[in-house]
């Protein structure tokens, strides 16, 4: 008999997890997502939905009673509530791991205690702490919300003394940390998996290009030397060693001018920079996550073909119903998330540009240039 899978969050990540789950009916018989938005992306591909806020205690209890195994696509769930429903369903990654990761201060403290390099950081309890911190870090530096940040929305870059007050007030009573700015040469990431028996596998290092703090493009593999790749993968494995819990972890890193790797942050879930795996690898990160939490042997993570993932984002100057972009062609894989409304910079879909015939990254980048205009989201008539 297959298991009933509960997912907290039914956005695009929940959607692609649901699609992967549907391909293993003998292991997973039903998928239920908890999401506040009616007709969320995951429900459109066959997940049942409980409509409630991600932190709604009664809804989480209901989900746990209906599920055999629970996972999540967002890290903002209430780890204490999740801990309390562990008697009803197995939860992966574990609430203990979630608790550390979902708080950027606890996460960075944990990593540095385990000798994993992170940017210098301090806990902030008052505006004077910010002033003090900036004296040693200099400008710019980043003031960050400890919790519930995504797409850079929990970050404020302080460029000068004049901006301190504005930055501090921007966060209105949230718990904060201050972080030294890293003048990185590249952002890279590793998608890593651990199954419930402790087997660990990592996907190859990829290169991430952000625009306005949001991931825009992932290049798989990263255009770095084999020494850098080795270094990043070694650190990723070390992180997986010290961090408990089963599932996929997205490990975001900075590559410094001196070719050192510093960890930016870890997401305890499938990650946007792993979407290339839908076509580049034998096992997508979504299938791998399910294999990990079900305790199955992990699948092959080898990169079979060069791939570029390009996010389709809502236009800055438009909110409303939009025309679904039409992009077809050999090696082009468009994935839209079924969101009815476009909002500025909202993630509406992505396209994978895949080197089916062994094309190099440079060739794929040229191909991306020729289709970029088709990814622009325009209002529907």
Could you tell me the two tokens for 162? Answer: 């004049």
Burial of 289 (0-12, 13-18, 19+ CB in 10 A): buried
**Shortest Cβ 178–ligand ATP spacing (Å):** 10
Q: Which is nearer to ligand ATP, 139 or 150 (CB)?
A: 150
**170 binds ligand ATP, rule: CB under 6 A:** no
**Shortest Cβ 148–ligand ATP spacing (Å):** 9
Pick from 151, 167, 125: nearest CA to 214:
151
Total of chain residues touching ligand ATP, rule CB under 6 A: 19
Phi and psi torsions of 313, nearest 5°? -110, 150
**212 binds ligand ATP, rule: CB under 6 A:** no
**Shortest Cβ 356–ligand ATP spacing (Å):** 29
DSSP secondary structure string, 297-313? PPPP--B-S-EEEEEEE
Beta carbons of 233 and 291 less than 8 angstroms apart: no
Q: Which is nearer to ligand ATP, 71 or 208 (CB)?
A: 208
d(CA 330, CA 347): 24
Pick from 353, 320, 376, 350: nearest CA to 216:
350
**Shortest Cβ 107–ligand ATP spacing (Å):** 10
Q: Which does 181 bind (CB under 5 to 8 A by kind): Mg ion, ligand ATP, none?
A: ligand ATP
Pairing of strands 214-220, 307-313: antiparallel
**Shortest Cβ 27–ligand ATP spacing (Å):** 30
Q: Enumerate residues 95-114 that contact Mg ion by CB under 5 A.
A: none
Q: Which is nearer to Mg ion, 272 or 279 (CB)?
A: 272
Core vs surface per residue 147-176: b (16+ CB within 10 A) or e: bebebbebbbebeeeebbeebbeebeeeeb
Pairing of strands 347-354, 332-336: antiparallel
Site string for ligand ATP, 106-125 (x = CB under 6 A): -------------x------
**151 binds ligand ATP, rule: CB under 6 A:** yes
**32 pairs with which residues across the strands?**
6, 48
**90 pairs with which residues across the strands?**
69
Q: Which is nearer to ligand ATP, 6 or 110 (CB)?
A: 110
Beta carbons of 337 and 314 less than 8 angstroms apart: no
CA angle 338, 287, 90 (to 5 degrees): 100
Q: Enumerate residues 236-265 that contact Mg ion by CB under 5 A.
A: 252
**Shortest Cβ 102–ligand ATP spacing (Å):** 10
Task: Choose the binding region for ligand ATP from 41-49, 64-72, 176-184, 362-370 (rule: CB under 6 A).
Answer: 176-184
Token pair 């997973």 is found at 28
**152 binds ligand ATP, rule: CB under 6 A:** yes
**8 pairs with which residues across the strands?**
34, 72
**Shortest Cβ 252–ligand ATP spacing (Å):** 6
Q: Which does 117 bind (CB under 5 to 8 A by kind): ligand ATP, Mg ion, none?
A: none
**Shortest Cβ 219–ligand ATP spacing (Å):** 15
Pick from 181, 186, 112: nearest CA to 142:
181
Q: Enumerate residues 249-268 that contact ligand ATP by CB under 6 A.
A: 252, 264-265
**349 binds ligand ATP, rule: CB under 6 A:** no
**45 binds ligand ATP, rule: CB under 6 A:** no
Burial of 237 (0-12, 13-18, 19+ CB in 10 A): middle
Q: Which of 109, 181, 335, 356 binds ligand ATP (CB under 6 A)?
A: 181
Q: Which is nearer to ligand ATP, 170 or 181 (CB)?
A: 181
**187 binds ligand ATP, rule: CB under 6 A:** yes
Binding site for ligand ATP (CB under 6 A): 119, 142, 144, 149-155, 179, 181-182, 187, 210, 213, 252, 264-265
Binding site for Mg ion (CB under 5 A): 252
């Amino acid at each position: 008999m297959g298991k009933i899978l509960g997912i907290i969050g039914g956005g695009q990540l929940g959607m692609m997890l649901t699609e992967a789950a549907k391909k293993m009916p003998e292991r997973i018989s039903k998928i239920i997502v908890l999401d506040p938005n009616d007709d969320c992306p995951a429900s459109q591909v066959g997940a049942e939905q409980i409509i409630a806020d991600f932190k709604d205690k009664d809804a989480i209890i209901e989900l746990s009673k209906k599920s055999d195994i629970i996972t999540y696509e967002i890290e903002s769930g209430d780890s204490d509530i999740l801990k309390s429903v562990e008697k009803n369903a197995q939860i992966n990654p574990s609430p203990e791991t979630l608790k550390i990761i979902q708080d950027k201060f606890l996460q960075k403290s944990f990593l540095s205690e385990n000798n994993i390099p992170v940017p210098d950081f301090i806990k902030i309890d008052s505006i004077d702490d910010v002033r003090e911190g900036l004296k040693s870090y200099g400008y710019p530096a980043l003031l960050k919300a400890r919790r519930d940040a995504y797409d850079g929305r929990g970050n404020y870059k302080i460029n000068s003394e004049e901006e301190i007050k504005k930055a501090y007030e921007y966060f209105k009573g949230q718990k904060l940390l201050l972080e030294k700015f890293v003048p990185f040469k590249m952002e890279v990431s590793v998608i890593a998996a651990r199954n419930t028996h402790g087997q660990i596998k990592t996907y190859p290092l990829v290169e991430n290009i952000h625009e306005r703090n949001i991931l825009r493009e992932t290049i798989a593999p990263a255009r770095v030397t084999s020494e850098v790749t080795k270094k990043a993968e070694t650190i990723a494995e070390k992180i997986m060693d010290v961090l408990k819990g089963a599932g996929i972890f997205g490990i975001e890193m900075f590559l410094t001018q001196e070719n050192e790797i510093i960890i930016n942050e870890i997401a305890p879930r499938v990650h946007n920079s792993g979407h290339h795996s839908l076509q580049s690898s034998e096992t997508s990160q979504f299938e791998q996550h399910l294999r990990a939490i079900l305790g199955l042997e992990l699948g092959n993570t080898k990169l079979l073909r060069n791939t570029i993932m390009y996010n389709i984002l809502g236009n800055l100057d438009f909110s409303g119903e939009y025309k679904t972009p039409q992009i077809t062609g050999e090696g082009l894989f468009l994935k839209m998330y079924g969101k009815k409304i476009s909002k500025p910079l909202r993630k509406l879909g992505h396209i994978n540009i895949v080197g089916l015939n062994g094309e190099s990254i440079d060739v794929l980048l040229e191909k991306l240039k020729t289709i970029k205009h088709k990814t622009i989201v325009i209002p529907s008539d």
